[in-house]
Amino acid sequence: MARRQLRKKAEGWKAKKWFDVTAPDIFGRMNIGSTPADEPSKLIGRVIDTTLGEIINDISKQNVKMHFKIDKVSNEAAATKFIGHEMTRDYLRSLVKRRTSLVELNVLTVTKDGYKIRVKPMSFTMKRARSSQIKAIRDIMNDVVLTRANELNFDQFMHEVVLGKLALDIYKESKHIYPLRRVEIGKTKILAEP
C-alpha cells in the first residue's frame, strides 16, 4: 500500500505574489514597476526607485532618480508617496569642469500647505568665480527657493523642481552676477508632512 505524502507549505519564491506599484497623483498614478512579497503588510515602507525619464517617457530625463515609498496596499496594487529625488552621480560629475566654480546650497523650506522639504540647488559657473560672487549667487539661490516654496503647494513645487522650472528661475536671477553654465536641483528630500 502506497503512503500519501503530506504537501509542504510553499516556501521562498513560490509563496510570493507580485504587486504592481503605482506612482502618486502628482505623477499621474502610472505603473512604475512591480515587487514581490508573501504578505501585503511587508510591502509598506519599501522604497522604489525609478527615473523621471521612465515616468514621463522622455529619454533626456534619465539622469533624474525618483524615490517613492509604498504606503498603502490593496488587492494586488501598492500605492506610493513621493519622498524625494536626486541627480545621478555620473551626470553631476560630467558637469564639474576644471577652472570653474561649483556653488552648492542646502535649503530647508516649507511649502504653502505645510510640507517640510530639504532642497539642494547647484550652480556651475563658466570660469572660476570670486568668493563675493559665490556668496551673492548663494543668496539668490536661497531667496528663489524660499519664495517659490512659500507661494506654491507641495504638488506644484515638486513639479517645478523635478521638471527644471525652479533651476531656470535661479539661472535667470543669478546670471547677472556671474556667467553660469548650468543650474540644477541636485537633490530633494521630504522631511515632514502636515
Residue 36 lies in a domain: yes
Find where cell 547677472 sits: 176
Digit-by-digit pLDDT tens for the chain (194 residues) are 555 555 555 577 777 889 999 999 988 889 999 999 988 889 999 999 999 999 988 899 999 999 999 999 988 899 999 999 999 999 999 999 999 999 999 999 999 999 999 999 999 999 999 999 999 999 999 999 999 999 999 999 999 999 999 999 999 999 999 999 999 999 999 999 98
Cβ–Cβ < 8 Å for 189, 118:
yes
Do 115 and 150 fall into the same domain?
Answer: yes
Do residues 129 and 180 share a domain?
Answer: yes
Give the whole-angstrom CA distance, residue 155 versus residue 45. Answer: 21
User: Do residues 110 and 118 touch, judged by C-beta distance below 8 A?
Assistant: no
CATH of the domain at 134: 3.30.479.30
pTM as predicted: 0.87
